[in-house]
Structure 1
């Protein structure tokens, strides 16, 4: 016979420990590298994401410069104070960084000179009047602040600088080629620190007339209307759009020369120049290292979770492999024990039958008493073999649902009495008691119920000490269920074994269970109860006794 040592299911604990240790080291190393990667990525983001914050923050300025300013040219120089007031009012509301607008109502004439304008040859640019608009509040936005003589109220610097650009452009203008929009826009716009001056762009035909007016006095003496607006800008009113609030703790507009003295090693800082009319200012970014560390962890944790999931899968695979080997090992042991015990169970009656047969065969003559004795021995041992074979066959049939459940009406008192009589006859020292409550008859399969009673009664007798061989059976009808209780005063079942006693081939190691059991009795009971659509449970105290509870449906 194959011994347990020859089993192919040996548990290699060292291999399992080595595998788990290796993947644990790889897991820890992966976490370390993932954190380093996350830290480097966030540090790079702190540098690169500044451009995105700048782009989002100056979007309103770009819209103002590229879309709103060119609208002035749509009026073709015919803006008056009322129209200019409405136009400026929308700008002051829509673009908070524009704090003041000066409107120059301008004319371009041929040969007529302006005292406070720019004159070149027969080409003259001068102001008729100047208006100043300033945002004082929602109700007052667009209100005319002041209107008077030009030289008494406003400086000519803004106007002259743009006028000079206009004259230089007209002098160099190639009348055979239409200038590009970029060229026109740059020559009619003057960008300075915190200020943009803009002349409306006339048509190409008018520009050609301007070219003629520089050197020639035209007979018609034309007069052209021009509009110039000077926008005063405040960079501190730019609304910062912090697109990475979890990365930049604070973003502010500061002068280009700003250099904070209180920034210590506990902070991370960065800066980027605004450009254009705000070139004297920059965006200053500052975050504490603990604040940045939170962002590092928010980036790192999903990676760590994936690594943990992968690690968990590997550990689960290792556990399942170990569990499979362990289960196979246990199954081999159970089968080994089953074959060993079954062989012993068969061997004992077979040996007794063989001895009795030899004695009968070798005896020259047998007395009547000897014939009865040998007949009884042969009969009892044959019954043992038959009972064992029937139990194995019934177990297999029930497991495979190969039998049908009979439905016969039985008298429960008569049924229990017959069980008591059979076991008392077999074991005269077996003390039986019983009680019945709530019903007298019910419909069930008497053969299966008898097998159930016989197995539990045999267990109660077998696993009890000689002076405690007793069993109390109670049968009660509770609602639509019949509850049977089998309570003995035996050796009891350890709590650690309770979950195993209904498993096939499982045997509890104790002084009563060394030989003569194949571990099928309680497993057979559980299969019987399940087949009868019932439930079985057990509670036990070591050295006090065991109680089996069986609940079956009441059919009547």
Structure 2
């Protein structure tokens, strides 16, 4: 019957395979869900990220509208053509979407104006009109001056701002102070149809009160008040688009709000967002092909996949470690099981022989001297076997736990080896043992431990050799300051697959020589002895040829 059935120790391979299959299915499912999540996330980003594109692209316009344009008010209406030209140059250099600026050098007086807006006794009209911009020739800069006798239409932009000023002044509550936001709103006009922003420098509070009086009644024509009106012509196509997600948006451009593409291929994904303010008739149009989007999906997906792969790898590693531990435990269990069985057998044989001999002596009416000597020899030999087995187990445990001390005595190596050979050839007459010693005669060591080492290796050489070929050659050499002992036999050899296991406790090679029982401690005991003596042990073997054990010990003379 197999060991696992007798002992009850089983390894459930089906459970292991089920576990691996389950985590593999979960891994594949997780990858599928992660990819779909990545795809949905990128598709959502494609729609939502356009807000960031808009914010970054329109940032210069907001800076122009909120910070640069109000600088006109710092001049308090006293801008002249040259100062206005310099101001426009700085604007067009920093804000390329400003294509042209028309400057109205404006007068507000308590008299009717020929060109402009009159509100009762309040007259608002241009003293001169200039235009600045790229491509405007120097002779076209000045459009109008009050000295011109020809009729000139000042334009709807000027009139709209003049009317707005007159309306604001007429409804002005002189007892309260309007906020800067209210003033800015009332003195600027955003015309999204023509992509223009008209701005009038904010008059001082005292000037606004005077303007209100001018509407109500006739005043002294002097003084004449100066105001500056600038009309900024904007070009939406000159807005610098900032692509905040270049791996997401393949193409971004400004299109009219009514733009409807002719190409509606399903291979392309589009989204759009309207521009604000003076550009509200335009939109930012974002386009990407599905193949282009897939790259971003995989960039998003790969870190998630790597994390899932790492988790999957950890789970597989855990499964492997559990399986390995179960396998090791199974082997250890089998080794211990064999050890107990073999140890029981080793004890049972001499105990049975002792019991039989004792019963024979007890039941015999009389024994001859020869019979007494025979039974005495049997009892003595079997008692020695039990004592040797107990001593080996005890010594192994003591050495393993370092519970004994290493004795230091001078040993004559030739006498030591010859004593070992004499002992084993006396015990096994068919055992042929030879030796050689090179480079030294004596050294300091523990003779008891060294004797145990020699005895174990000699017994192994005899036990695992075929009848008629039981030979062992022992060499002892001093090489480069260390002692090298070699035990070379002509035995059955050790399979290469088993060489890494022979020094393990309770391990036994399965062959016909171990059928009668072996505790599996001999070579493990040798290794512990060598380690305790601060040396090294190694083996090389070839099946059918023989085995050689090499022991290296420190040389203490």
- Same-fold call, TM cutoff 0.5: yes
Q: For the residues of structure 2 that align with 1:477 and 1:251, how far apart are their CA atoms?
A: 85
Q: Deviations over 1:265-310 (max 9, x none)?
A: 2222211111222223221212221222222223333333333344
Contact 1:405 1:532 in 2 (8 A): yes
Deviating more after overlay: 8-17 vs 153-162: 153-162
Find the residue that maps to 1:471 and give its secondary structure.
strand
Q: Which residue of 1 aligns with 2:423?
A: 422
Report the Cα distance in structure 1 between the residues aligned to 2:525 and 2:241, rounded to whole angstroms: 79
Q: Which residue in 2 is equivalent to 1:225? A: 226
Q: Paired residue for 1:273?
A: 274
The 8 Å contact of residues 4 and 336 in structure 1, kept in 2 or not, is answered as: no
1:327 CA drift (Å): 3.4
Counterpart of 1:107 in structure 2 is: 107
SS at match of 2:10: coil
- Is the CA contact (8 Å cut-off) linking 2:116 and 2:154 kept in structure 1? no
2:30 and 2:349 map into 1 onto residues whose CA distance is 64
CA distance in 2, matches of 1:290, 1:435: 81
| Contact 1:341/1:518 (8 A) holds in 2 | yes
Deviation at 1:521, TM superposition (A): 0.9
What is aligned with 2:13? 13
Instruction: Indicate how the Cα distance of structure 1 residues 534 and 116 shifts in structure 2: closer, same or farther if over 3 A, else same.
Output: farther
CA contact (8 A) 2:3 2:334 kept: no
Aligned equivalents of 2:72, 2:380: Cα separation in 1? 124
Cα 1:484–1:295 change in 2 (3 A) is farther
- The match for 1:174 is 173
Partner of 2:347: 346
- Equivalent residue for 1:146? 141
Structure 2 distance, partners of 1:34, 1:44, is 15
Separation in structure 1 between the aligned mates of residue 213 and residue 414 of structure 2, nearest angstrom: 134
Shift of 1:364: 4.6
1:41 is aligned to 41
Residue 189 of structure 1 aligns with which residue? 188
Q: Does 1:56 align with 2:51?
A: no
- CA offsets 1:183-233 (integer angstroms, 9 cap, x no match): 322221122233222111112322222122123221363321111222232
Per the alignment, do residues 232 and 457 of structure 1 end up closer, same or farther by CA in structure 2, a change over 3 Å counting?
A: farther
Find the residue that maps to 1:402 and give its secondary structure. coil
Normalized against structure 1, the TM-score is what?
0.90
State the alpha-carbon separation in 2 of the partners of residues 492 and 259 from structure 1.
88
Gaps of 5+ in 2: none
2:495 corresponds to 1:494: yes
The structure-2 alpha-carbon separation of the partners of 1:165 and 1:511, relative to structure 1 and needing over 3 Å to count, comes to same
**Partners of 2:505 and 2:402 in 1: CA distance:** 17
316-325 or 95-104: bigger deviation: 316-325
CA–CA separation in structure 1 for the residues paired with 2:409 and 2:99: 102
- CA deviation vs aligned residue, 1:354-387 (integer Å, no higher than 9, x gap): 3333334444554444444333322222221111
Partners of 2:478 and 2:413 lie apart in 1 by 11
Displacement of 1:58: 0.9
Match of 2:215 in 1: 214
Aligned twin of 1:335? 336
Find the residue that maps to 2:550 and give its secondary structure: strand
C-alpha change, 1:191 and 1:451, in structure 2 (3 Å) is same
Q: 1:533 to 1:257 in 2, by over 3 A?
A: farther
CA displacement 1:323-343 (0-9 Å, x = unmatched) = 444433333322221111111
SS of alignment partner, residue 414 of structure 2: helix
Q: Which residue of 1 aligns with 2:510?
A: 509
The Cα shift of 1:148 comes to 5.8
Q: Distance in 1 between matches of 2:219 and 2:119?
A: 15
Q: How does 1:361-376 map to 2 (within 5 A)?
A: 361-376=362-377
Deviates more, 1:172-181 or 1:486-495: 172-181
Instruction: Give the C-alpha shift of residue 132 in structure 1.
Output: 3.5
Matched position secondary structure for 2:141: strand
> Is the 8 Å Cα contact of residues 9 and 326 (structure 1) preserved in structure 2?
no
- 2:74 corresponds to which residue? 74
Partner of 2:503, secondary structure, is: coil
Range 165-174 or range 32-41, more displaced: 165-174
Aligned residue pairs total 549
Question: Relative to structure 1, is the Cα distance of residues 70 and 355 closer, same or farther in structure 2, using a 3 angstrom cutoff?
Answer: same
Equivalent residue, structure 1, for 2:291: 290
Q: Is the 8 A contact 1:470 1:488 kept in 2?
A: yes
C-alpha distance in 2 between matches for 1:458 and 1:158: 119
C-alpha change, 1:220 and 1:99, in structure 2 (3 Å) is: closer
Tell me if the contact between 1:267 and 1:288 (Cα under 8 Å) persists in the aligned partners. yes
Query: Residues of 2 paired with 1:443 and 1:80: CA distance?
Result: 114
Alpha-carbon separation, structure 2, partners of 1:365 and 1:104? 152
Cα pair 1:133 1:144 within 8 Å, conserved = no
- In 2, Cα distance between equivalents of 1:429 and 1:219: 150
For residue 244 of structure 1, give the secondary structure of its aligned residue in structure 2: coil
Structure 1 window deviating more from structure 2 (182-191 vs 153-162): it is 153-162
Instruction: Provide the alpha-carbon RMSD of the alignment.
Output: 2.9
**Is 1:120 matched with 2:115?**
no
1:4 to partner: Cα distance = 5.4
TM-score (norm 2): 0.90
Q: Does the CA contact (< 8 Å) of 2:472 and 2:490 recur in 1?
A: yes
Question: Quick one: distance in 1 between partners of 2:153 and 2:537?
Answer: 105
Match of 2:159 in 1: 160
> How far is the alpha carbon of 1:402 from its aligned partner?
0.8
